[in-house]
Structure 1
């Protein structure tokens, strides 16, 4: 994840990211984000770019920290993503929708954990 001072300036560097093998997805469902992925159907990397102060930054970091602290949840999430990838190999919208409820549950747990630390 990258944090910048002006999200609109990121768009000036899309071609450079593409030269590095990344595909640009724009906001991709999260306002004021720029999302890039690499590897096509066998994705190897993804980059989230947010403007400083965007609330999604804390949410993403809390999710990451929760998964690190709870490897059993990380395994469940990995298995869910694998199942969805097999079920929807060419339908990213359905893949994302399939993760949505699980992510919301983890977001609540992660937010609660972050407030207690």
Structure 2
């Protein structure tokens, strides 16, 4: 049973993403459309689970299926997940931990992830409140990842709605 850990922002997280992204670009080559650092480790100043979330976008999920063997060769293992139909999900544990979320081009989940990341980057008060909730839930449910995730679910959904409105607003200075 693993412990739910929320760590203070680590300035090494962007570098870890860039190093892993370079390896993934090499694995996926021309099949890859986009690669993004998402989640709280992509938000400077945000406390987070120390896991680097990476989103890869392909023309279709079939394009990424062909790379599964190559991903295994660089340390990733495929996980089954029911939280996002139409997504492939992989984990890698080295000295750092990585989660790879693969979506087909056009998936509404792509914008949802980018909007939330950019919104939290641009709104320090929201970032701080979200970090506070995560710390509180990690303290309350130190060995129950499901309860931790369920505890933040409604807050995250509300935050995503705000983020999407902001992201789509022509007046916002987004995409940071």
Q: TM-score range by the shorter chain?
A: 0.7 to 0.9
Hey, what does 1:22 align to over in structure 2?
A: 76
SS of the aligned residue for 1:38 comes to: strand
Runs of 4+ off more than 6 Å: none
**TM-score, length-normalised on structure 1?**
0.78
Structure 1, unmatched stretches of 5+, are none
CA contact (8 A) 1:28 1:35 kept: no
Give the Cα separation in 2 of the matches to 1:24 and 1:46.
10
2:134 is the alignment partner of 1:85? no
Greater percentage in helix: 1
Hey, what does 1:109 align to over in structure 2?
A: 162
Q: How many residues align?
A: 116
Give the Cα separation in 2 of the matches to 1:73 and 1:15.
40
Bigger drift between 69-78 and 96-105 goes to 69-78
Task: Summarize the Cα distance change of 1:79–1:115 in structure 2 as closer, same or farther, 3 Å threshold.
Answer: same
Hey, what does 2:127 align to over in structure 1?
A: 74
CA contact (8 A) 1:33 1:50 kept: yes
Task: Summarize the Cα distance change of 1:89–1:31 in structure 2 as closer, same or farther, 3 Å threshold.
Answer: same
Structure 2, unmatched stretches of 5+, are 1-54, 171-176
**TM-score, length-normalised on structure 2?**
0.55
Task: Summarize the Cα distance change of 1:25–1:89 in structure 2 as closer, same or farther, 3 Å threshold.
Answer: farther
2:88 is the alignment partner of 1:34? yes
Q: Which has the higher Rg, Structure 1 or Structure 2?
A: 2
Measured after TM superposition, the shift of residue 28 of structure 1 is 4.1
Task: Summarize the Cα distance change of 1:64–1:12 in structure 2 as closer, same or farther, 3 Å threshold.
Answer: same
> What's the CA shift string for 1:18-44, capped at 9, x where partnerless?
44333422344101011223349x973
Measured after TM superposition, the shift of residue 57 of structure 1 is 0.7
Give the Cα separation in 2 of the matches to 1:28 and 1:3.
19
1:29-68 equivalence runs, <5 A: 29-39=83-93, 44-68=97-121
